Chains A and B, each alone.
Chain A
Amino acid sequence: MAAKKLRRAQLSQEMCERLSRYQITTCQDFLCLSLLELMKVTGQSYHEVQKLLCKVSRACAPKMQTAYEMKLRKSVNPSSAFLSTTLHSLDRVLHGGVPCGSLTEITSPPGCGKTQFCIMLSVLATLPVSMGGLDGAVIYIDTESAFSAERLIEIAANRFPAYYDSDEKLLCMTRSIHLYRELTCCSVLKRIMSLEEDIILKKVKLVIIDSVASVVRKEFDTKLQGNLAERSNFLNRGASVLKYLAEEFTIPVILTNQITTALSSGPGLRADLVSPADDLSLSEGSSVSGKRDSGYVTAALGNTWSHSVNTRLILQYHDLPTRQKRTSRYVQWHVT
C-alpha cells in the first residue's frame, strides 16, 4: 500500500509529473511531508493541499469494518479458525488449537521436541478437514537441517494407520510438504518475501520456520556495536511479512525459538522480566533459593521479537517430585 504510485491515487497527470521532479512518486513519500513542504512542491494553496492530502490518504487508507462484520465472517467458516494439535489438554488451553491467522512461537531448551512437534503439525495439516486437518500443503523452512523425511512417514503411519494405509497415500502426503533449506538470514528473508506466490500456487495451509533463533544467533553477535539494531530490523521485517501472510490467507504460522540465559546481577533485574512465563527457572522450585542469583533462562531474540508473536508455547522438561503444584498450568506430553 505504501509503495502505491501517486498516479493511481487519482492525482492529475501534471501534478504527478511535477512531484516526480522532486522525487516524490509514491504515496509514502507524499504523506511523509509536512503541509508547508507540500505547499512548496505542489505550488498549491493551503486548502488545496489539504484536499490533496485527503485524496492521497483515501487511496492508501485501510477499509473499515465493524467488529460485527468480522464476527459474521468468522462464524461463516468456524472450522478453519484453528488447527487442532490432537493433544486434548493443549487444545483446551489454546481454546481449540493453533490459531489460524496469527503467529505462534514454540520455544524450549534443546532436545525438548520442537522439531518433532513441527513435523507432527505438518502431518496434521495435510489431513482432510473431516479428520481435523486443514487439507492443504505445508511450507517448511528448515534452517538447522533437522527435518527428517523418514520420521515424517513414521509419524504419519503410526498416528493415523487407518488413513495412511497405503504407500500411495503416504507419498501423496509427502508431496504436499515443501521443504526449503535456508542457511543464512538473508536467504530466509528472501524466502519469506517470496512466500506469497507459493502459498497461492501450491494451496498452502501451514507455514513452519524451524528455527528462527539458530540462524539469527549465528549471524548477529549482540555484543558487537550496531548488531542489535540490525538484528531487530531483520526480525521486525520478517515478522511483519509473516503477519501479513498469516492474516491474508488465514493460515497458522509457526516459528521455533531457542532458550538463552540472561545473566542477572541481583534483585535489581527482577523488573526486567518480560513475562513470568518466560522465566523458566521459576518452575525449577523455589526451594533452591541460591540458584536464582546467577541468572535465569528466557526465550531468545529479545523482547522486540516477543512483541511480534501472538502466541508463545514453552516446552520444558518436567520433574515430577518438585513441581506438583504447578502441574495444572502445564501440559504434559511425551514424544513417542
Chain B
Amino acid sequence: MQREVGTLPLAPALRARLAAAGFQTAQELLDTGPCGLSKEIGISREEALEALQVVRQECHGDTARAAGGSGATRKCTALELLEEEQTQGFIITFCSALDNILGGGVQLTKITEICGAPGVGKTQLCMQLAVDVQIPECFGGVAGEAVFIDTEGSFMVDRVVDIAAACVQHCHLIAEAQPEEDHGKALETFSVENILSHIYCFRCRDYTELLAQVYLLPEFLAEHSKVRLVVIDGIAFPFRHDFEDLALRTRLLNGLAQQLIITANEHRAAVVLTNQMTTRIGQSQSTLVPALGESWGHAATVRLIFHWDNTQRLATLYKSPSQKESTIAYEITPHGFRDVQPPAGTASTEGTEPNPRKRPRTEEEKQQ
C-alpha cells in the first residue's frame, strides 16, 4: 500500500501527471477516489476509474505475494524441488548412450541447445524428439505433444513418418515381450497418424516471424496444454544475415532466451534449440565454435555439440549443471537416431527382449 506511484504499470503520461500533482504512494490514490482524481489531474472519470482498478489489482497482488501465496515468484525449499525433479520425466532420444550422458534424456523445464556442423544430425535428433515426446507413460515416455518451429526449411515429413513408424513398432515389441494391461489401451491411440497430428509445425522465414511466434507461444501452449516439447530448429539462421546492428541482435536474442525460459517453466515443457557452427579466425589456426556469439552461450542450460571424427558422429556434452562432460558416438539409421551398433560378434549375446535397436545395420542414412 505504500508502493510508490512511479512503479505502477500505468501509462507514462498519466504517471507524469500524477507526479506533477504531488501523489507519492498508491494508498493516496485509492483514498482520493475516481472523481477527486479526475478533478485534480484533469482526466475523465472513466480514465481515473481504470487507473484505480489497475492500482488496486497491483496492490492486491503485492499483498498476496507478501503472504506467501501463489504469484509470479514462487518460493519453495530445495527439498520440494528435489521431489519435483525426481518425479519429472525425461524425453528419451532412443540412443541410450546419449540418454546416459544427459542423465536420462532431454529434461523438461530446461533449455537444451544442440550445436553442430551441417549434416551432422541436429534436425534428425529434433525430429526424433518430436516423436519420442509422445510415447505413452506406460512405456516410459511423457505422453506429450510437440511444437516444431522451423526456420531453415529442413523439416521433412517423410522422415518423421519413418521415425514414427519405427517408434510405434518398438513399443509394440515391448508390449509383446512384457504384456501389461495399460499397454494395450495405450497402443490403440499410439499410431503414426496420431503422432503426426500432434506435431504442430510453424515455418518462420525471418527473425520477425520468429519473434512474433515466440510472443504468441504462451497463448498457444495455454490452448494446447499437453505440449511438452518446443523445438526451434535453426535459431541461428534468421539472425545471421541482414543484421548490421549487433547490439540489437544480442538484445533480441536475450529477450528470446528469457521468453523461452519463462515458457519452459510455466508449462513444464522442454525447449530444444539448434545452433550453427561458425569459424573463429585465431592467430595461428581457426576453430569451429557455436554461432551467435559468447553471450548466447549463457542462454541454454544444457549444451550438446555434435561433430565428426573421420566418419563417426560424436556428441559431446559441453555444458550441464548436473552431468559431467563426456563424449559418445551415435548413428543416424533409417529408423532414426540410434546408438552405434557394436560389431556383429557381441550382438548374439543379447538379452531376452527382442530389441530392434540391437540388430546390426548395414545401411546408413546419407541424405541430410
Mark A residues whose CB is within 8 Å of B: 1-2, 27-28, 31-32, 34, 39-40, 43-48, 53-54, 56-71, 74, 93-95, 101-102, 232-233, 236-237, 240, 243-244, 246-247, 265, 268-277, 282, 302-304, 306-312, 329
The residue on B at minimum CB distance from A28 is: B208
Within 8 Å of chain A (Cβ to Cβ): is B30?
Answer: no
A60–B153 alpha-carbon span in the complex (Å): 18
Q: Find out whether the CB atom of B208 lies under 8 angstroms from the CB atom of A43.
A: no
Within 8 Å of chain A (Cβ to Cβ): is B161?
Answer: yes
Within 8 Å of chain A (Cβ to Cβ): is B197?
Answer: yes
What are 13 inter-chain pairs, A to B, with CB distance below 8 A?
A40-B12, A43-B12, A45-B9, A47-B9, A61-B209, A62-B202, A64-B202, A66-B198, A67-B195, A70-B157, A244-B205, A273-B308, A274-B288
Q: Find out whether the CB atom of B11 lies under 8 angstroms from the CB atom of A43.
A: yes
In the complex with contacts A43-B12, A276-B308, A304-B276, A1-B205 CB distance below 8 A = yes
Q: Find out whether the CB atom of A306 lies under 8 angstroms from the CB atom of B193.
A: no
Q: Is the interface of B mostly helix, strand, loop or mixed?
A: mixed
In the complex with contacts A67-B199, A303-B278, A95-B367 CB distance below 8 A = yes
Q: Find out whether the CB atom of B277 lies under 8 angstroms from the CB atom of A303.
A: yes
Q: Which 3 A-B pairs have the closest CB atoms?
A: A236-B241, A46-B9, A2-B208
A44–B11 alpha-carbon span in the complex (Å): 4
Within 8 Å of chain A (Cβ to Cβ): is B346?
Answer: no
By a CB distance below 8 angstroms, the chain B residues around A232 are 240-241
A70–B198 alpha-carbon span in the complex (Å): 12
A61–B200 alpha-carbon span in the complex (Å): 14
Contact mask for chain B residues 164-197; partner A; CB cutoff 8 A; 1 contact, 0 none:
0000000000000000000000000000010111
The residue in A1, A232, A310 that gathers the most chain B C-beta atoms within 10 A of its C-beta is A310
Q: Find out whether the CB atom of A274 lies under 8 angstroms from the CB atom of B117.
A: yes
The residue on B at minimum CB distance from A1 is: B209
Q: Find out whether the CB atom of A31 lies under 8 angstroms from the CB atom of B211.
A: yes
Q: Find out whether the CB atom of B237 lies under 8 angstroms from the CB atom of A307.
A: yes
In the complex with contacts A276-B308, A304-B278, A65-B201 CB distance below 8 A = yes
Q: Find out whether the CB atom of B196 lies under 8 angstroms from the CB atom of A27.
A: no
Q: Find out whether the CB atom of A271 lies under 8 angstroms from the CB atom of B118.
A: no
Range class of the B interface residue count: 35 or more
Contact mask for chain B residues 205-230; partner A; CB cutoff 8 A; 1 contact, 0 none:
11111011101100110000000000
In-complex Cβ contact of B153 among A63, A237, A247, A272 (8 A)? A247
By a CB distance below 8 angstroms, the chain B residues around A271 are 287-288, 307
By a CB distance below 8 angstroms, the chain A residues around B209 are 1-2, 60-62
A53–B201 alpha-carbon span in the complex (Å): 22
In the complex with contacts A95-B367, A269-B285, A62-B242 CB distance below 8 A = no
Within 8 Å of chain A (Cβ to Cβ): is B74?
Answer: no
Q: Is the interface of A mostly helix, strand, loop or mixed?
A: helix
Q: Find out whether the CB atom of B202 lies under 8 angstroms from the CB atom of A45.
A: no
Q: Which of the segments B79-87, B88-96, B101-109, B247-255 contacts the partner chain? A: B247-255
Q: Find out whether the CB atom of A27 lies under 8 angstroms from the CB atom of B212.
A: yes
- B133 nearest CB across to chain A (Å): 13
By a CB distance below 8 angstroms, the chain A residues around B204 are 62
A282–B310 alpha-carbon span in the complex (Å): 9
Q: Find out whether the CB atom of B198 lies under 8 angstroms from the CB atom of A2.
A: no
In-complex Cβ contact of A61 among B216, B288, B311 (8 A)? B216
By a CB distance below 8 angstroms, the chain A residues around B14 are 45
Within 8 A of A (CB), among B330-357: none
In-complex Cβ contact of A34 among B200, B255, B366 (8 A)? B255
Q: Find out whether the CB atom of B219 lies under 8 angstroms from the CB atom of A54.
A: yes
The residue on A at minimum CB distance from B117 is: A274
Q: Find out whether the CB atom of B153 lies under 8 angstroms from the CB atom of A61.
A: no
- A295 nearest CB across to chain B (Å): 13
Q: Find out whether the CB atom of A71 lies under 8 angstroms from the CB atom of B288.
A: no
Q: Find out whether the CB atom of B215 lies under 8 angstroms from the CB atom of A43.
A: no
A240–B238 alpha-carbon span in the complex (Å): 9
- B193 nearest CB across to chain A (Å): 6
